[in-house]
Amino acid sequence: MKTKDDGGPAFPLQVPAGYFLDNSAGGMSLRDWFAGQALNGLLRGPIGVTLEPFEDVVRAIVNSSFAVANAMLEERKK
């Protein structure tokens, strides 16, 4: 099973030599960060969809946010 490229950690920590950092919490992936930034932009302006049913609007906005994030990760590879 192929895992989706999440871009790695959004805010990686650099630890000086000789120190141990327990990073078991993982944190936010770069993909999640990009999607959150896209979500902010999408929510600021007209999105061109009706407001009924609300759940469909939310799903469309979330899917669009992750589509933008995925495109940003692909562009970074070039």
Query: What pLDDT shows up at residue 39?
Result: 92
Between residues 29 and 3, the one the model is more confident about: 29
Report the length, in residues, of the chain: 78
5-38 CB burial, b ≥16 within 10 A, e <16: ebbeeeeeeeeeeeeeeeeeeeeebbbbbbbeeb
pLDDT grade for 4, boundaries at 50, 70 and 90: confident
Residues 8-56 have pLDDT tens digits of 888 777 777 767 665 555 678 899 999 999 999 888 876 665 667 878 8
User: Is 66 a residue whose pLDDT tops 80?
Assistant: yes
SS3 of residue 70 by DSSP: helix
Per the model's pLDDT, the better-predicted residue between 44 and 73 turns out to be 73
